């Protein structure tokens, strides 16, 4: 269903000069408000891409939260922890982002953008942080964090696991898109992906998720989800032994 999604899922992409400069740490970024929002808080479609490309849509920005760490790990399979070689357990998810540049009433694929994703493990723990409530201390670990550069058709591909839950939030994946990352001034868009409730219930009934017990908070009870989360739902299809999905997003980059 996603012909390019299997390529380089367990390897790394060659670094261009731009990427090497970015990962050397010379980026300065400013926020990019990429959404055109209606009064209800939902982002509005803004045109289409010619040919077979998907509809070009904008999405609402959301907070990065307290657990973002700028690891600059350029890799597609983020289940692996390079600190100790362990692999996170959980239902596999193949995730592709299609990043598009808004221009007038249409859009084109945006190549060379850096896409970061990060999220908790099956038991609600993030890597490389000391939890504010001291529920976990994973400093030095690098699991479930990674970045990819978008290719010529604007695609960045990852393999990860379905996230677990932790107190105070519904189930989600964080992402950040940085445009012109090697420039002295660049652009940044940060938001979150959410999941279908029924699918989450099925996944979380399996091991290792089930050992944590049922989640107390659903999508509509989450304050961030209520501020545009329906525009950020990730549609997943079965992809044995897990799921696969693609998320399309348009950015108005100057």
Q: Are the beta carbons of 159 and 95 closer than 8 angstroms?
A: yes
Q: Is residue 204 part of a domain?
A: yes
Rounded to an integer, the average pLDDT of 234-244 is 97
- Band of the pLDDT at 209, cuts 50, 70, 90? very high
Q: Is residue 3 part of a domain?
A: no
pLDDT for 180 equals 74
Average pLDDT of the residues of the chain: 81
Nearest-angstrom CA–CA distance, 129 and 120: 11
Least confident piece of the model among 21-25, 161-165, 181-185, 220-224: 21-25
Report the domain count for the chain: 1
Domain carrying residue 50: 17-251
Q: Is residue 59 part of a domain?
A: yes
Q: Is residue 4 part of a domain?
A: no
pLDDT for 55 equals 60
Q: What percentage of the chain carries pLDDT values higher than 70?
A: 76
Which tops the pLDDT comparison, 41 or 194? 194
Q: Is residue 121 part of a domain?
A: yes
Which tops the pLDDT comparison, 179 or 97? 97
The structure tokens 């007038």 sit at 104
- Indicate the pTM of the whole model: 0.79
Q: Is residue 9 part of a domain?
A: no
Q: Are the beta carbons of 249 and 98 closer than 8 angstroms?
A: yes
Nearest-angstrom CA–CA distance, 33 and 5: 29
Q: Are the beta carbons of 97 and 175 closer than 8 angstroms?
A: yes
CATH number, residue 54? 2.60.130.10
Q: How far is the first Cα of the chain from the last one, in angstroms, to the nearest whole number?
A: 33
User: What are 129-150's pLDDT values in tens digits?
Assistant: 998 877 899 999 999 999 999 9
Structure tokens at 4: 């390019």
Q: Is residue 97 part of a domain?
A: yes
Q: Is residue 1 part of a domain?
A: no
26, pLDDT greater than 50: no
pLDDT for 181 equals 61
Q: Of 56, 253, 251, 238, which is closest to residue 162 (Cα–Cα)?
A: 238
């Amino acid at each position: 269903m996603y012909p390019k999604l299997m390529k380089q899922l367990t390897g790394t992409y060659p670094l261009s000069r731009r990427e090497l400069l970015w990962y050397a740490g010379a980026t300065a970024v400013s926020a990019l408000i990429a959404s055109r929002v209606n009064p209800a808080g939902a982002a509005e479609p803004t045109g289409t891409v010619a040919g077979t490309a998907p509809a070009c849509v904008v999405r609402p920005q959301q907070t990065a939260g307290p657990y973002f760490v700028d690891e600059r790990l350029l890799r597609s399979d983020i289940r692996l922890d390079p600190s100790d070689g362990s692999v996170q357990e959980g239902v596999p998810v193949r995730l592709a982002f299609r990043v598009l540049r808004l221009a007038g009433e249409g859009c084109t694929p945006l190549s060379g953008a850096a896409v970061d994703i990060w999220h908790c493990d099956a038991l609600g723990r993030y890597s490389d942080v000391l939890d504010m409530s001291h529920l976990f201390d994973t400093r030095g670990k690098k699991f479930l964090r990674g970045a990819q550069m978008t290719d010529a058709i604007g695609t960045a591909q990852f393999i990860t696991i379905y996230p677990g839950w932790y107190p105070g939030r519904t189930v989600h994946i964080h992402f950040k898109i940085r445009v012109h990352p090697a420039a002295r001034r660049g652009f940044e868009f940060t938001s979150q992906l959410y999941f279908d409730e029924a699918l989450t219930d099925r996944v979380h009934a399996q091991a290792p998720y089930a050992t944590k017990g049922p989640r107390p908070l659903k999508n509509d009870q989450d304050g961030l989800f209520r501020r545009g989360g329906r525009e950020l739902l990730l549609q997943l299809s079965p992809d044995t032994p897990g799921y696969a999905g693609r998320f399309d997003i348009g950015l108005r980059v100057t």
